[in-house]
Structure 1
Amino acid sequence: MRTLVDLNADAGESFGRWRLGDDERLIPLVTSVNVACGWHAGDAATMRRSVRIARESGVAVGAHPGFPDLTGFGRRALAMSPQEAADACLYQFGALRAIADHLHTPVTHVKPHGALYGLTLRDEAVAEAITEAVLSAAPDVRVVLLAGPTAERLAERGFPVVREAFADLDYDDAGHIIIEPDPQAKDPQRCADQAVAVLEGEVTSVNGKPIEVDADTICLHGDRPNAVEVATAVRERFASEGVQVAPMADVVRKHRG
């Protein structure tokens, strides 16, 4: 079983006067945070607030670019070519990096959101275009992709990929995550169980099929109503199992070189 892993959360997803998630309580419980960049959620003030909380909590900051779909929260599929997807990620990464630079905080990673993340699973050319674009703009920034064949192939070719698994999402028999349009509360202990299963190298699909997984980071969703309780349960389980948490760059350096 792995004894060192990054725990990341999708956050910064409020918009104007509309509040979603509890960044103040959630971000300090993780080691990396993926901040929405304004297309699926978030705005400049929310981005600044989330980066500030992360900086004060010693949490690594990453960009969480999504489809231009505020109404659907970026979880509805849109058609994008590899170049369009790369441009979308660069645009949003640049916006967050400007705010983070103002706060003297580095942006360490980029993780596509929702249906854009799903597109990287279905179309390897999209995953490659996004990774190449981010690398050309910021050679020290890593791209987070679902642990599996696409991430492995890109990593074998030398791309700076971080392999991700999920504590609070189900998997289908193909090893893909099942994205929830409107996440509901989940049993924190069940999520903790799945996080430990990831560390042991195997999760179970909704149909009972064992899915091999080799992940550097485990994700929790900040828009889940009980996200703080889920994160707390996962951290407590890690502590009881002797598992340490660290930002994804540190985990990758130790395990992947």
Structure 2
Amino acid sequence: MKKLRHLCCILISCLLLGGLPFGAAAGENGFDLVPFMPEEEARIRKNCDKDVRLTDVPAAAYMSSFAVREDGWFAIDFMGKQVDVFNEDGEFQYGITFSQNPIRVDWDGDNVLIARIRGAFVATVNSQGKVEKIMDIRYGNGDPYWRILEKYEKEVNGTTYRFNHSIERLERRRVLTQIDQFVRIEPDGTETVLVDVSSKMAPFMKHLWIICPILFVLGAIIAIFRAIDEWRTGQEKTNT
């Protein structure tokens, strides 16, 4: 009887604390995770099951976030539209596509963990493209682990992994957009480009970093001339 009461106390405590069994598993991923209410989980899972798809075609887009597993396998998020998984040599294994974005990527054991920024929840997807777990992030977008996932350089088992730019000027300035390379740096300084999508990008996309400022300046100049012209027209009407 005492054992039964003790077990009941443990179960009640777990419920009051927001589900400790889930929190223990979630701690491996860094987020403070809690389960959804059954109805909410069913709704989100239904949407995820319809949205998440497996693909054997590597992404052709700029990179947004990455995560490296202990064995050297890594996953890269390409602009919140597709997550590709590679082995330690940078060989493409499979991709996971979805329409909802933006996201950040991590690992949950051998499964890819997709953290949705909009809605602040995570979904773990296995290598067959099946959604296995869906969990709520207790503190939403205020969880400090987001900052870890958003880092562009990370160290795993003494080896450094980082994003890179094929355009030298962007790399020197460490611009946080148009990232098209993923590199591994060994402890002795040897650098290897594991993934490079620069050749897949359209020429105009490669030069957006300079095209956009030029268009902005031209737009500003046109707006100024229009304002001056309107002011002159107003002055002429006033004088007449």
Give me the TM-score of the superposition, normalised by structure 1: 0.21
Higher helix share: 1
Identify which of structures 1 and 2 has the higher relative contact order when contacts are C-alpha pairs closer than 8 Å and 6+ apart: 1
Higher strand share: 2
